[in-house]
Amino acid sequence: MIISMGSHATKEQIEQVCDRIREFGYKVHSIQGEERVVIGAVGIGDVTACLDQLEAMPGVESAVRISAPYKFVSREFRSQRTRVRVNGTEIGGDDFVVIAGPCSVETESQIMRTAEAVARAGARLLRGGAYKPRTSPYEFQGLELEGLKLLRKAKEATGLAIVTEVMSDGEVELVAEYADILQIGARNMQNISLLKALGRTTRPILLKRGMSSTIRELLMSAEYIVAHGNPQVVLCERGIRTFEPATRNTCDISAVAVLNELTHLPVLVDPSHAAGRRSLVPPLARAAVAVGADGLLVEVHPTPEKAFSDGAQSLAIPEFEAMMQSLGPYLKIWRETRVAEGAAAL
Ligand code: PEP
Ligand code: MN
């Protein structure tokens, strides 16, 4: 059950609602939204009687039953898209948002050159890994704090907001000092302690789908973050592991359409990790626009052949510029579709 309190609900009214929910044997998760408090109740009890009573209580705007196992992130809970605001950019809103940058932050000149180039080409946020979850312990593990400091410099120089990965709950506070969005990598999608810690931060979260995770598991992980207090979650399809070896992963483009039905959260596509090969990135990026994603996460490097990680799938700067150009006609249709969708919802 989800209980939305009216915008003028008092603390006492909220407390009374929580007490009544507990009396019915449910567990309470409340989240403080921008305008109102929303209370989630989970467990086993007499739903119909509980809903009837709650709806009649002072301060309650609505009380509804959500059948999906994920509650706060489901479309049943909220039919309108969630817009996640980052430094003046809205993800999930009226603009398609491109996030670009190198897999790893390597040197000052590398991150500065990339940041300036992607900003010029139309990217709205800069991505770069400082803490890298590498498959092999012998591969480059990232510059860590030094990398975060370089990202801050790049932000100061370009105004681009920063997206960077956090790998453990103990590092959330530190990374959040430097990042505008915290990225959770595929390998950590079900790191429950980390998800709970993300619920307690005020930064938005970019949650990547695990390479062997179902859409439902992705939504349950998002639910952890929201149920623990942070409603600003952006999802990212980054390719899943299948029997097909021609690409690094299989870009599950249909996941975007499915997610758009099941959740109000924004959905990005990462064509770089999905493809594993730079020639495939622009066509997959166009597919992401066409299917109705909210944006892209793309790896770009000034000299991909010398990259410390993921060089084969990184676009060189002129290739990124060309890709951005090629998206133009698709973005026109994307905007028209969004406007029509907004008008239909009124
Ligand atoms: C990355 O974004 O560089 C990364 C490691 O991605 P993923 O977690 O999707 O493998
Ligand atoms: Mn990478």
Least Cα distance to 38 among 12, 92, 1 occurs for: 1
pLDDT digits (tens, 9 = 90+) for 7-28: 999 999 999 999 999 999 999 9
Residue 292's alpha-carbon distances to 83, 130, 147, 185, in angstroms, are 15, 30, 33, 22
Banded pLDDT at 35 (limits 50, 70, 90)? confident
Q: Is the pLDDT of residue 255 over 90?
A: yes
Least Cα distance to 199 among 171, 226, 237, 220 occurs for: 226
Looking at residues 220-241, what average pLDDT do you find? 96
Q: Is the pLDDT of residue 131 over 90?
A: yes
Structure tokens, 264:
């109000």
Looking at residues 195-223, what average pLDDT do you find? 98
Looking at residues 328-346, what average pLDDT do you find? 91
Contact 302, 316 (CB under 8 A): yes
Structure tokens, 237:
């399809």
pLDDT at 36: 84
Query: What's this model's pTM, rounded to 2 decimal places?
Result: 0.94
pLDDT digits (tens, 9 = 90+) for 50-87: 999 999 999 999 999 998 999 999 999 988 999 999 99
Q: Is the pLDDT of residue 319 over 80?
A: yes
Q: Which helix (H) or strand (E) holds 80?
A: none
Helix 192-199 × helix 215-227 angle, to 10°: 40
Bigger pLDDT: 198 or 27?
198
**What distance in Å separates the CA atoms of residue 300 and residue 318, rounded to the nearest whole number?**
10
Q: Is the pLDDT of residue 263 over 90?
A: yes
185 lines ligand 1 (CB under 6 A): yes
The span from the first CA to the last CA of the chain, in angstroms, equals: 25
Residue to substitute in 162, 208, 248 for testing ligand 1 pocket (most ligand atoms within 8 angstroms of CB): 208
Percent of the chain with pLDDT over 90: 92
The rounded Å distance from CA 133 to ligand 2 centre is 9
Give the atom of ligand 1 at the shortest distance from the alpha carbon of 104: 3
Residues paired with 184 in a beta bridge: 207
Q: Which residues of 300-316 are buried (b: 16+ CB within 10 A; e: fewer)?
A: bbbebeebbbbbebbbb
Q: Is the pLDDT of residue 128 over 80?
A: yes
Looking at residues 289-294, what average pLDDT do you find? 98
Structure tokens, 109:
């000149």
- Report every protein residue that has its C-beta within 5 angstroms of ion ligand 2: 103, 310
**What distance in Å separates the CA atoms of residue 346 and residue 341, rounded to the nearest whole number?**
9
Banded pLDDT at 94 (limits 50, 70, 90)? very high
Q: Is the pLDDT of residue 34 over 90?
A: no
Contact 231, 36 (CB under 8 A): no
pLDDT at 345: 79
Question: Using CA positions, which residue lies closest to atom 1 of ligand 1?
Answer: 103
The rounded Å distance from CA 264 to ligand 1 centre is 23
Residues paired with 80 in a beta bridge: none
Q: Is the pLDDT of residue 346 over 80?
A: no
Looking at residues 258-282, what average pLDDT do you find? 98
208 lines ligand 1 (CB under 6 A): yes
Mean pLDDT of all residues belonging to the chain: 96
Contact 282, 322 (CB under 8 A): yes
Least Cα distance to 42 among 55, 63, 60, 26 occurs for: 26
